[in-house]
Amino acid sequence: MNKNLTKILLCCAALIWGAGCEKPSAFMENSEVPTDINITGLTYSEVVNARAYSEITSSIPTYNSEGIPCVFEILSVRTADGELDPSYLDSVYIASAVLDTLEKIAVEDTAVVVIDGDTVEQEVPVYKVPIIDPAKAGQIYIKDNNMFKEGDYYFTVQARPATDRDDMSNAKVFEDAFHLNVMPLLPSGLTYDVVQHNLVVGQEGSASAAPKVMFAKDQVEEYDFRYELTGYADTLVIDSLTGAISLHPDYTISKNEIYSPTIRLISNITDEYVDFEFTAEDFLLVVSNEALELNAGPLLPLAVVYSPFGQNLVVGEGTWTTTPDVSSGNPSVTFSLGSEHDKFQINGETGALSLNPAYVLDLPEGEDALIVYPEIIVTSKVSYEEQTYAEVVKIAISLEPYTPPREVFNFFYPSLATKDYYSLVAVQKGGLGSGVYWKYKGATAGPGDLAAEDRPESVTDNTPIHMHNIVYGPARSPEHDSWMIMKEQNLSQYASGFDLSAIFWMKNDFAAYQTDGRVAADMEIYVTDNYTGDVSTTNWTQVNDIIKFKIEGQGDEYTGTPYPGDQAGPDPDNAKHPERATYQKWLRYELDLGPYKDQTKFTFALRYKTYFTGDLTEVIRTDTGEVGVADFSNSSGKFFISDINYKAVEQVDGI
């Protein structure tokens, strides 16, 4: 083989080796590697205005080393007060060039060539090639949650040629080579342990509590800052050191006033500031002439609960209803009627109702009572805000004692055709397309008349939704984890005198088992009262084991969601029940909401979760009962969901 061909092969091999490197340098083994290199001029661009304790990355430095990339080491770091403890460098990394060797070139040791008309075999020389990958040599990286607070830092760096390997004779030390300027970490939050604060006019020392300042990093032990208000200069005064708020000494009121001011935190080092805006749910100042009872809940109740819900007032007897429970809010409230003024009078302090003495009951023939749902207006004595509550009490007006009929409220019966009432969260989507990922179907795909008994006439959209974990090319089920989270609901309005339940219909199809007979995926069911918007930080309670179901809504009731699939084949989990025949049938599920009836932010969620690693390509097929290839109808499973609703059934004695 001629020398030109050999050179071409060598160059190709070097290019292949260096394809993933940053402009690598290569030297032939039989060529001289530069020695006695004098490294000079190591220069970094300074980093200024970095944030305390946060991730920091320097630029790649410039230096003169006769073209040879260098190996770097940080020897120390100092401030104006002196050298810092070596522990500061535990979170600091500096990149270095990497020296390696291409052991051989991928060509034959011999080759057949033609020389002067004769075919001969000739050896091909093989060279070893040292390769140097600069690898962003000299760049400094400081990890997040480090020890560097606000201030100026100077790093001493040592550099030596990568070709020297462990030889330190050409190592050069550059003192204060890198300058890092760190600014204070700005606050990330401002909170008050007590939400409502009473400022009493003329009362000495009347002020709010001091807030707590929060930072994104735990390392912040102290912070040099001051407080300011962005408004209300004639009304409120804030202590610049503590953040406690009091009344302006010249301010007076004619009635109670409420404020939720914006508070500004300003760095005394840089004059940077952060504004924290508050709502009445976060921080509320109530200005009054007399001390008030606060922090007993919102100023207006979350629910007004008459117990029992259905009550009877008989004409001429002068009886009153029960007083409502408003314990979900501040008790300093008054009551008034929002409707039916001709029929009732209301005790403004207690909320109890009786018949208006002037009211004359005129019943149609054959009727024993007139059923009325008066609206109740609740007004805060603290803020004078008011709110109207509808359908909180049912009153039967009659001439003789009368038991009102049981009331049923389907108080949450959302359409699944739009995402107005639920959200989807994909933790691990696995490449699923929109046609199979929580996709709504036509109403004919739902349970139809099976759910008619639960479905009120007002519900005309009973569109189901389906979730099928399948991708194509080839057909397979990927690892998948996603959530359908219903909009939060206030259950406390039905906390007394009602039986509460969550009802929905679900069907499982196209579900093959893993090769050992185990389920490939399931629909897990969860509830919570503190959905944060992040499924990973929410305190969920799984209820699969306690929920009840009936097959097609009829017959025996079972506890616990059934094992997915056709229940055939090996049963390593000892959970299959072929005698129930639940597969490919609509099941009516019901969850008792009694344990959650006091929750004001009740949230119900369905989670499709796979239980295998990698792609599911081999399964026990449902058509043969044998191990085979996964496909559309032999996947980790498809679930249809329909008619999710919450129901409150009135408790009536004797009914």
Cα–Cα distances (Å) from 275 to 17, 189, 225, 262, 264, in that order, read 54, 10, 13, 7, 4
Closest Cα partner for 324 from 301, 296, 343, 345? Answer: 301
Is 215 in the same domain as 171?
no
Q: How far apart are CA 242 and CA 230, in angstroms?
A: 16
Q: How far apart are CA 446 and CA 643, in angstroms?
A: 8
Q: How far apart are CA 370 and CA 105, in angstroms?
A: 99
Radius of gyration of the chain (CA): 38
Q: How far apart are CA 452 and CA 505, in angstroms?
A: 12
Is 162 in the same domain as 276?
no
Instruction: Write out the DSSP string of 293-332.
Output: ---SS-SS-S--B-SSSEEEEETTS--BPPPPB-TTS-S-
Q: How far apart are CA 626 and CA 618, in angstroms?
A: 10
Is 238 in the same domain as 375?
no
**Residue 655 maps to a domain:** no
Is 178 in the same domain as 221?
no
In the numeric block, which tokens belong to residue 188? 């990330």
pLDDT tens sequence across 168-221: 888 999 999 999 999 999 999 999 988 999 999 999 899 999 999 999 888 887
**Residue 300 maps to a domain:** no
CATH classification at residue 208: 2.60.40.2710
Is 478 in the same domain as 542?
yes
What per-residue confidence (pLDDT) applies to 16? 33
Q: Where is the domain boundary, 405, 438, 457?
A: 405
**Residue 275 maps to a domain:** yes
Burial of 641 (0-12, 13-18, 19+ CB in 10 A): buried
Q: How far apart are CA 168 and CA 180, in angstroms?
A: 27
Q: Name 619's bridge partners.
A: 628
Q: How far apart are CA 252 and CA 247, in angstroms?
A: 9
Across all residues in the chain, what is the average pLDDT? 89
Q: Do the Cβ atoms of 331 and 293 come closer than 8 Å?
A: yes
| Cis omega (within 30 of 0) for bond into 308 | yes
Within 543-615, strands assigned E span 548-551, 557-559, 587-592, 603-610
Is 270 in the same domain as 178?
no
Cα angle: 651, vertex 653, 654; to 5 degrees: 125
In terms of C-beta distances under 8 Å and separation of at least 24 residues, what long-range contacts does 208-214 make, across chains too? 208/244, 208/245, 208/246, 208/285, 209/244, 210/239, 210/242, 210/243, 210/244, 211/243, 211/263, 211/283, 213/187, 213/189, 213/265, 214/187, 214/188, 214/189, 214/190
**Residue 615 maps to a domain:** yes
CB atoms within 10 A of CB 319: 13
Nearby residues of 11 by Cβ (< 8 Å), 6 or more positions away? none
**Residue 506 maps to a domain:** yes
| Cis omega (within 30 of 0) for bond into 374 | no
Q: How far apart are CA 267 and CA 579, in angstroms?
A: 71
β pairing state of 548-551 and 627-629: unpaired
Is 568 in the same domain as 472?
yes
Please report the sign of the dihedral spanned by the C-alpha atoms of residue 527, residue 298, residue 337, residue 317.
Answer: positive
Is 444 in the same domain as 577?
yes
| CA of residue 193 relative to chain centroid, distance | 24
Q: Which residue carries 């939720």 as its tokens? A: 260
Per-residue burial over 31-42, b = 16 or more CB atoms within 10 Å of its CB, e = otherwise: eeeeeebebeeb
What is the SS3 assignment for 247-294?
Answer: ECCCCCCCCCEEECCCEEEEECCCCCEEEECCCCCCCEEEEECCCCCC
Nearby residues of 409 by Cβ (< 8 Å), 6 or more positions away? 391, 494, 498, 647, 648
- Domain range spanning residue 362? 310-405
Is 614 in the same domain as 590?
yes
Q: Do the Cβ atoms of 158 and 140 come closer than 8 Å?
A: no
| CA of residue 115 relative to chain centroid, distance | 75
Which run of H or of E encompasses 379? strand 376-380
SS3 492: helix
SS3 200: strand
Please report the sign of the dihedral spanned by the C-alpha atoms of residue 452, residue 455, residue 459, residue 463.
Answer: negative
Q: How far apart are CA 628 and CA 619, in angstroms?
A: 6
Q: Where is the domain boundary, 405, 431, 463?
A: 405
Q: How far apart are CA 325 and CA 307, in angstroms?
A: 8
Residues in the chain with pLDDT values less than 50: 1-31, 105-106, 654
Q: How far apart are CA 508 and CA 466, in angstroms?
A: 10
| CA of residue 453 relative to chain centroid, distance | 36
| CA of residue 296 relative to chain centroid, distance | 29
CB atoms within 10 A of CB 112: 10
**Residue 333 maps to a domain:** yes
Is 197 in the same domain as 143?
no
Closest Cα partner for 546 from 528, 560, 525, 527? Answer: 560
Is 213 in the same domain as 337?
no
What per-residue confidence (pLDDT) applies to 116? 59
Indicate the length of the chain as a whole number.
655
Q: Do the Cβ atoms of 610 and 469 come closer than 8 Å?
A: yes
**Residue 270 maps to a domain:** yes
CB atoms within 10 A of CB 247: 20
SS3 208: coil
Please report the sign of the dihedral spanned by the C-alpha atoms of residue 246, residue 249, residue 250, residue 254.
Answer: positive
Q: Where is the domain boundary, 183, 203, 224?
A: 183
Q: How far apart are CA 92 and CA 505, in angstroms?
A: 56
Question: What are residue 484's phi and psi, to 5 degrees?
Answer: -115, 115
Q: How far apart are CA 198 and CA 193, in angstroms?
A: 14
pLDDT tens sequence across 240-282: 999 999 999 999 999 999 999 999 999 999 999 999 999 988 9
DSSP code at position 635: B
| CA of residue 231 relative to chain centroid, distance | 34
State the first-to-last Cα distance of the chain, in angstroms, to the nearest integer: 104
How many structural domains does the chain have?
4
Question: What are residue 247's phi and psi, to 5 degrees?
Answer: -80, 145
Q: Do the Cβ atoms of 438 and 355 come closer than 8 Å?
A: no
Q: How far apart are CA 121 and CA 106, in angstroms?
A: 18
**Residue 431 maps to a domain:** yes
Is 86 in the same domain as 161?
yes
